[in-house]
Amino acid sequence: MPPLNQIRRVIRAVLLVAAVTPAAWAGVPVGSSTLIGRLDYSDSFTQTDSGGLPDRDGVGGYPLGTIDDPVNGTPGEGLALENNYGHAARAWPDAKWSIAADSTVSSGTTMRYLGGSGAGSDTGMTQTGDVGGDWGFAYGIRRDFVVQFDATQTTDRVDITIGGVAGTISAPSNLSIFFRISEHAAYPEIGIYNAGPGIGEVNSGLTSGIPWIGEWHNYAVHFDLDGRSLEVFVDEVSRGTINLNTVAGGKFANLTLSNAAVSVGYYAPDRFWSDNFQIGAPVGYVPEIPGDANRDERVDDVDASILGSHWLLRSGATWEDGDFNGDHAVNDADAAILAAHWHYGVEGGSPVPEPGAVMLLAGALACWLFRRREVFA
């Protein structure tokens, strides 16, 4: 009698060919993550006629090397990331996928489209057909962050990559997490990969809980670079935490971890679909940047206004009132802290004190107080 895992693989293959699969599709719409508390970038890949960006028309597929109706002049189809939440604009690389939807999807020869994700694939998603590939962009915002996206499980892997180079797993400065079906015939269910000498892919020891090829799942990794740990999620359920100093006998202990770039992708022949890319701070992350009263990770006019509205509050003041030194009052000491970090996190700004920042803030506060006196006069 054949081994049980061999029987299971045969059953999966038969079901894939017959396009029979369990009805439980898994997708997480942008903004609905239970893992991300503050988004840095996201993309729902919504088509133009469903409210998406102008390039995302999905017309005529996406022949490599061509331009698909660049309404706003952007080369390629829908390359600009949909949302940047105040961070620098980013774009996906050219010629990686087309925009499709449930109604216009093009199944492959061996990988048939088994149905929508229930999380926006009806209004737009990526579609590609090759032997695999990765796409990404420059990141560099946090060292404690979550990368998350929906995708259809392939015969080999779905992957999430961070490091120094976008759009590849092959750079020695990169670190990749591979997701495969349960009891994969040849490789780990959750693998860790680095292209450096003597490393390659190692088995994390974690299981994926993914029973079928071809169905939608949500894939996520919480990267804590300073803590040198990874927590892996499938369908927002933790599959376990990996200590990069000790896993595989310490193979990754000397690897420098970089947040410079982030990428997602896959490997397997034929079609692959993805949707709802999201990256940001983990749930529970509460930034305390000096001067950032509203905790949006920028020190700007909004924070100065908050401080000004609580100016000379002598007791009971909180961080959200402008009390940055913890003495429960809002005064010139807090104004000096805000001024010293003026324009931290603001595009083109500086996280170090700027010449004249204290005087600028003092002038702004004086104007605010003058207007307040006029209102109450």
Report how far apart, in Å, the C-alpha atoms of 374 and of each of 118, 311, 365, 369 are: 55, 16, 14, 9
Residue 311, domain member (yes or no): yes
Res 238: pLDDT: 98
* CA torsion through residues 75, 81, 85, 87, sign: negative
Whether 55 and 179 map to the same domain: the answer is yes
Domain limits at 79? 22-282
Rg (CA), the chain: 24
Find all residues with CB under 8 Å of 204, minimum gap 6, and list them: 177, 188, 190, 191, 192, 232, 240, 242, 247
Res 295: pLDDT: 73
Whether 243 and 317 map to the same domain: the answer is no
Whether 309 and 260 map to the same domain: the answer is no
DSSP 354: P
Residue type, 264: V
Residue 344, domain member (yes or no): yes
Instruction: Identify the CATH number of the domain in which residue 96 sits.
Output: 2.60.120.560
Chain center to CA of 223: 11
Res 25: pLDDT: 63
Q: Per the structure, how many domains does the chain have?
A: 2
Q: What is the pLDDT of residues 107-139, one digit of tens each?
A: 888 889 999 999 999 999 999 988 899 999 999
Res 359: pLDDT: 55
Asked if residue 199 lies in contact with residue 135, where contact means CB atoms within 8 angstroms, the answer is: no
Query: Which of the listed residues 282, 313, 336 is the one where a domain comes to its end?
Result: 282
Residue 11, domain member (yes or no): no
Res 370: pLDDT: 55
Res 352: pLDDT: 46
Asked if residue 41 lies in contact with residue 143, where contact means CB atoms within 8 angstroms, the answer is: no
Asked if residue 87 lies in contact with residue 106, where contact means CB atoms within 8 angstroms, the answer is: no
Res 191: pLDDT: 98
Whether 238 and 330 map to the same domain: the answer is no
Asked if residue 96 lies in contact with residue 128, where contact means CB atoms within 8 angstroms, the answer is: yes
Res 362: pLDDT: 59
Structure tokens at 155: 């015969």
> The pTM is what?
0.76
Q: Kindly compute the dihedral angle of the four CA atoms of residues 52, 57, 61, 67, in this order, to the nearest 10 degrees.
A: -100
Residue 324, domain member (yes or no): yes
Query: Which of the listed residues 254, 282, 310 is the one where a domain comes to its end?
Result: 282
Q: What is the pLDDT along the chain (377 residues), one digit of tens a residue?
A: 445 454 444 444 444 433 334 334 679 999 999 999 999 999 999 988 898 887 676 654 444 333 344 444 444 555 789 999 888 889 888 778 888 899 989 888 888 999 999 999 999 999 998 889 999 999 999 999 999 999 999 999 999 999 999 999 999 999 999 999 999 999 999 999 999 999 999 999 999 999 999 999 999 999 999 999 999 999 999 999 999 999 999 999 999 999 999 999 999 988 999 999 999 999 988 777 888 888 777 888 888 889 888 988 888 888 888 888 878 899 988 888 888 888 887 765 554 444 455 555 655 555 555 555 554 55
Res 67: pLDDT: 39
Query: Which of the listed residues 282, 317, 342 is the one where a domain comes to its end?
Result: 282
Residue type, 111: M
Whether 242 and 327 map to the same domain: the answer is no
